[in-house]
Structure 1
Amino acid sequence: MFTTTGSRGLDKAPLSKGLLLVLSGLTVVLTLLPQYHHLFTYSLQAITQQQQVWRLVCGRLICLDLKDTFCNSLLIYNFRIFERRFGSRKFASFLFGTWVLTALMDFLLAEAFHYLFDYQVAELPAGLLGPVFSLFVPFYSSIPKVPVTQLLGQISITNKSLVYIVGLQLLTSSPYMWLVALSGLISGKLYHSNALRVQRLLFLPRWLSRVGAFLLEPLFSGLPPPNDTPLGMGATLDIQRQQRMDLHDQQMLLAQFNQARRNHRPPQDGLMNWNRFFPSLRHRGQNFAPEPQPHPSPQQPHPSLTALAPTAPPLDNTPVAEEQVARLMEMGFSRIDAQDALRASNNDINVATNFLLQHLG
């Protein structure tokens, strides 16, 4: 369920990969060296009374609890889809902007809590928690909700349910984690809606992004996931058969893509010819009646030529649901691309979303 909004792995997400490796590694190091924990605690009292401003940096980067680190890493891994869609610079600007805003919101909410309940909040959970909670704002508004299954026949499980469960687990891990979460959500809403033009004020300059790409991207960028993934040795026959079908589908897509390039037919109006990329292989091997083949017309090629390379049947007349088209348009894709993707994927919004995010995101 963590891969329903994009492909597996950390391909095209070097910043997310760097955050996962560096922050998790530093947490393990601090676990082995507990005598240095006091340097990375997020103490509001030490910042305000002892002027230890450096705690705003050290206390808001590294988690001191392994459970918080695990949940935080799962959320960063899932939110890598925003780096693939917007680019590393815009994703880094979002994290930096919300990181600055949450520093201010933490003090404002702590003072409001002290004024309302007469209780002083001396210390908050440490780590890169505020910006991660702020990513729930674009996740809620930009990623479409696709039903996956139902629990007990009544509770609907979607592709976003597990992400919210992990966020809830992180929210209940510490007494004052709710304050950090509320600060992150408010900061994420302010930055996402560009209130008071904070995106322009807290956007990373181009020269800094170039320096970061030159120094850090070669270290954390990896190879794309291979297409020839070996089949599971311990899988059942049904799982092995499904894996072979998926592998064959990927090979068919790649072969048709290469054939489309050899035919040197430019796409009309700058759009992709979706019918060439999606063969009707989704219901192979299932107990469905075979679809009637269209009658040959004078414009169709000779059967001996079509037997050389399989092509997808025409999908121009396939009806699409306007609700699914609207969901894809909310993610920033054009109406024509959304309609073509839904027609080509037999109205499966999950497959259409994955293809649009991977190839046009």
Structure 2
Amino acid sequence: MNGGPSGFHNAPVTKTFVVASAFMTVLFGLQGRSLRLGLSYLDIFENVRLWKFVSSVFAFSSTPEMIFGLYLLYYFRVFERQIGSNKHTVFILFSLILSLLLEVLALAYLKDPMTKLASGPYGLIFAAFVPFFLDIPVSSRFRIFGINLTDKSFVYLAGLQLLFSSWKQSVVPGFCGMLAGSLYHLNALGIRKIKFPEAVLSVFSRLSRPSSGSSPALSSGNIVGNIHAYPGHQVEVGGHPSVARNLVAEPSETSVATLVSMGFDRDSARQALIHARNDVNTATNILLESQSR
């Protein structure tokens, strides 16, 4: 499978997080502080350094970790498209905060002043592997050198590379992230019902808009007076009501690909988009409701 249409279409929160993570990684690297990143027992229980809590959430300590980490964050934008920016923001905050608390508990248990955990959004990345494993179906299988693989195998390989990049230093935050993702999946404390303030989410949407400010072009073949043509749909043409041509608005290939990347059947995705008038969020709700029946 793929992550859907390229770019951060319908994933403004993921885009903001990826840009912030890349910026902070480069910034600390230019300042020569990369080797000082990562939480340790001393940073938490003796010489408290609050800046390390922030850096451990966003900044990677090495270029290879940044490459694999940002690739996985970019790939997992599919979940924001699937559940919406609001719920995905809650998922991000829950995963980061809980995994950070678990890392602190792990350091308290180890009581080893020499142990320093890997820096970066490991909690969020490995929390996302839980819905990736449970909710994203395999869409293709193939063999390479006699080994059976699926379209999800390369994502797992990238995750393993990141998980064992620094051995114990990276394994601990990785497993803390998986535990956080599992608790979110189990709806611990009713977390999946919580909504994030829309006013804050609108900031992410504005930041992710193209600089040109232009809106996506509409297909004139299926539109009359900027209104999609549906069977029997009355529109105003020249000041007089008129019945649009007996056409069904054909969903855009981008929208269909977005739903297919979530694991939905292509034909079902197309029909849902027709009923939803090419609105991806509405079409997603239609498909999820039909599966729950």
Letter in 1 for 2:209: S
Give the aligned partner of residue 166 of structure 2: 174
* Conservation of the 8 A alpha-carbon contact between 1:62 and 1:126: yes
Q: 2:229 aligns with which of 262, 268, 278?
A: 262
| C-alpha distance in 2 between matches for 1:277 and 1:59 | 42
Could you tell me whether the CA contact under 8 Å between 1:14 and 1:217 is conserved in 2?
yes
Q: 1:33 aligns with which of 31, 34, 39?
A: 31
Cα distance in 1 for residues equivalent to 2:137 and 2:221: 29
Paired residues of 1:27 and 1:69 also in contact (CA < 8 A): yes
Percent identical among aligned pairs is 27
Task: Report the Cα distance in structure 1 between the residues aligned to 2:77 and 2:269, rounded to whole angstroms.
Answer: 24
**Would the aligned equivalents of 2:14 and 2:77 in 1 still touch at CA under 8 Å?**
yes
Cα distance per residue 1:122-142 (max 9 Å; x no partner) = 310111111111000111111
Alpha-carbon distance between aligned partners in 2 of 1:264 and 1:343, rounded to the nearest angstrom: 16
Partner SS state of residue 127, structure 1: coil
User: Which amino acid in the other structure matches residue 13 of structure 1?
Assistant: A
Deviation at 1:26, TM superposition (A): 2.3
Seen in structure 2, the aligned counterparts of structure 1 residues 120 and 255 have a Cα distance that, compared at 3 Å, is same
Q: How does 1:305-344 map to 2 (within 5 A)?
A: 340-341=267-268
Q: Distance in 2 between matches of 1:255 and 1:89?
A: 32
Contact 1:13 1:221 in 2 (8 A): no
Secondary structure of 2:142's partner?
strand
Tell me what 1:15 maps to. Answer: 13
> What amino acid maps onto 2:137 in structure 1?
P
Q: Which of these residues, 138, 163, 171, is aligned with residue 131 of structure 2?
A: 138
Aligned counterpart for 1:84 among listed residues 75, 81, 86: 81
Name the amino acid aligned to 2:202.
Answer: A
Q: Deviations over 1:316-357 (max 9, x none)?
A: xxxxxxxxxxxx9xx797xxxx5953898xxxxxxxxxx997
Structure 2 SS opposite 1:59: helix
* SS of corresponding position for 1:360: helix
What are the Cα deviations for residues 252-287 of structure 1, in whole angstroms up to 9, with x where unaligned? xx6885599535347xxxxxx999669xxxxxxxxx
Tell me, what secondary structure is at the counterpart of 1:150? strand
TM-score by length of 1: 0.59
Specify which of 202, 224, 229 is matched with residue 213 of structure 1. 202
The answer for unaligned runs of 5 or more in structure 2 is 234-246, 253-258, 272-277, 285-293
**Aligned counterpart, 1:51:** 48
Closer, same or farther: CA 140–177 of 1 in aligned 2, 3 Å = same
Alpha carbons of 1:357 and 1:79: their partners in 2 closer, same or farther (altered >3 Å)? farther
The TM-score normalised by the length of structure 2 is 0.71
**Residue 211 to residue 80, structure 1, CA distance change in 2 (3 Å):** same
Report SS of the residue matched to 1:12.
Answer: coil
List per-residue Cα deviations over 1:210-252 (Å, max 9, x = no partner).
13423x422222389x999xxxxxxxxxxxxxxxxxxxxxxxx
Quote the residue 1:241 is aligned against. none
Q: Is the 8 A contact 1:256 1:276 kept in 2?
A: no
Q: Secondary structure at the match of 2:165?
A: coil
Q: Within the alignment, does 1:196 sit opposite 2:189 as a pair?
A: yes
Partner of 2:65: 68
Q: CA deviation at 1:151?
A: 1.5
Larger radius of gyration, structure 1 or 2?
1
Q: 1:121 to 1:141 in 2, by over 3 A?
A: farther
Offset at 1:42? 2.1
- Structure 2 CA distance for aligned equivalents of residues 219 and 178 of structure 1: 33
Q: Partners in 1 of 2:282 and 2:80 — Cα distance?
A: 14
